[in-house]
Amino acid sequence: MPSNSMKSSTPPSSNAPAYPPPGSSPSSSVAPPVYPIESSPSPSPSSSVPSPTDANSPSPSLAPPSGLRVGYYGYSCPNAESIVRAAVKSAVDANPGTGAGLIRLFFHDCFVQGCDASVLLNTTTTGQSPTTERQSPPNLTLRGFEAIDAAKAALEAACPRTVSCADAVAFAARDATFFLSAGRVDFGVPAGRLDGRVSRADEALANLPPPTAGVQALTDMFAAKGLDADDMVTLSGAHTVGRAHCSSFSGRIPPNNVSSSSDAMNPTLAASLGQQCNSSSNGGGDPAVAQDLVTPNKLDSQYYWNVINHDVLFASDAALLTSNRTAAMVSDNAFTPGLWEAKFKRAMVKMGLVGVKTTSAEGEIRERCWMTNN
C-alpha cells in the first residue's frame, strides 16, 4: 500500500468552491450548487441483519418494465430479500472486497445481454462448455460468485424454482452497497427478472467499457444501454471501493507514464504504484492495489475527490476531467454532501432495468446459477 502521507483531500466543511474547467485552479469566490438530498433509510436496530427496503419504502422515481416491481416476492417467497442480505452480510463481514465485487458483478451482468445473470454461466447447456462471459478477459477478475451461490442455495431451500439468479445478483449488489456505506445507501429493487440462456465471451469484450476508455467512448457505451452521462459519472463512483490489478492501469505508471497532460496521475501516487507493481510483477503474477487509498472499504463520495486530485488509477476515471460537462458533475458530487449517495441509488435502479427478461420465451429461473436448466 502507498504511504499514508501521500497527498489526499477530504471535503471542506462549508463554502467549498465549485470545480472549474480542467487545467484551471478552483476559485474560492464560487460557492457549490445546492441540491435537494434524498434521505437514506437507517438500518433496523432490532436485527443484526437489517431487512431490505420494502415495497412501501421510497425508491428512485423510475418506471420499471412490465412485470417488475419492488416487493415482487412478497407472496411467493416472503423472505427472499432477507435471505440474500444475510448471505451478503456474511460474505462482506469475512472480506469487504467481496462487497465491491458484488457491485461490479451486477454492472458486468447488466451491460452484456441485460440484467439476466448471464455473467454467472460457465456453460449454457448441460454437457457443453462454450466460452461464456465469465471466461472473457474483462470478467476474469470478477468476485462474489460464491456469495451468489450461497444465497441461491438458501433461496432454493426456502422457495424452490421461485427466485431468479438475476434478481439475486441485483439484491446482492444493493445489499453490498448498504453494508459498505454503513447503511446510508439503501433502496428498493424492482424484481421479477428471468435468467438468460445466452452468454458469449465476445459480447463482454464488445459491451464492457475498458479501463483505458476516454470520456466520449464511456458516454457512448452507457448511452447504448439507456444510461446518460450523469449515470456514467455516478456509477463510476463505485470505484471508491475494491482493488484493481496493475495490468489495468500500467500505462499510467512509471516507466510507462511520461504524460504531462491535465489528466495524468498524481506523480506521487504514480511513483508509489510503479514501485509496487513493478517490484511485485518481477516475481510473476499481476498484483492488485486499493482503488481508493483514503477510504478503501467505504462506499462514499471520496472517489470524486480522488478524481479532482488525480489520485485515480484508471484512464477512464481520469478522463472525467477532460470534459467540462463531466468535470462539473465530478465537482457537484465532491462538494455537495449526500448528493452522490442519492444519485447512486437512482442510477443503480436504472441500470438494473437494462435489458431485463420477463417472459418464458426470453428466460427461465435457473436451479443453479452457473448453468441453464435441462
108 in active site: yes
Tell me phi and psi for residue 124, to 5 degrees.
-105, -15
Cell readout for 165 is: 439468479
Q: What is the C-alpha separation between 141 and 296, in angstroms, rounded?
A: 18
295 is in an annotated binding site: yes
310 is in an annotated binding site: no
DSSP letter for 137, please.
G
240 is in an annotated binding site: yes
126 is in an annotated binding site: no
Helix 145-158 × helix 96-110 angle, to 10°: 80
Residue type, 152: K
242 is in an annotated binding site: no
Residues 85, 89, 104, 108: which is the catalytic one? 108
Tell me phi and psi for residue 33, to 5 degrees.
-70, 160
Buried b (16+ CB within 10 A) or exposed e, 52-86: bbeeeeebbeeebeeebebbbbeeebeebbbbbbb
Please report the DSSP string for 264-330 in residue order: PPPHHHHHHHHHHHHHHHTTSS--EEES-SSSTT--STHHHHHHHTT--SSHHHHGGGSSHHHHHHH
Give the CA count within 13 Å in the CB-facing half-sphere of 169.
Answer: 36
Q: Give residues with Cβ within 8 angstroms of 50, minimum separation 6.
A: 43, 44, 85, 178, 183
262 is in an annotated binding site: no
116 is in an annotated binding site: yes
Ramachandran quadrant class, 265 (left: phi over 0; alpha: psi -120 to 50; beta: rest): beta
118 is in an annotated binding site: yes
- Number of residues assigned to the chain: 374
* Apex 164 CA angle, 163 and 165, nearest 5: 125
Query: What amino acid positions are annotated as catalytic residues?
Result: 108
Q: Which residues are annotated as a binding site for heme b?
A: 239
* Binding-site annotation: residue ranges: 109, 112, 114, 116, 118, 133, 209, 239-240, 292, 295, 300
- Give binding residues for Ca(2+) as ranges: 109, 112, 114, 116, 118, 133, 240, 292, 295, 300
Please enumerate, by residue number, every residue annotated as part of a binding site for substrate. 209
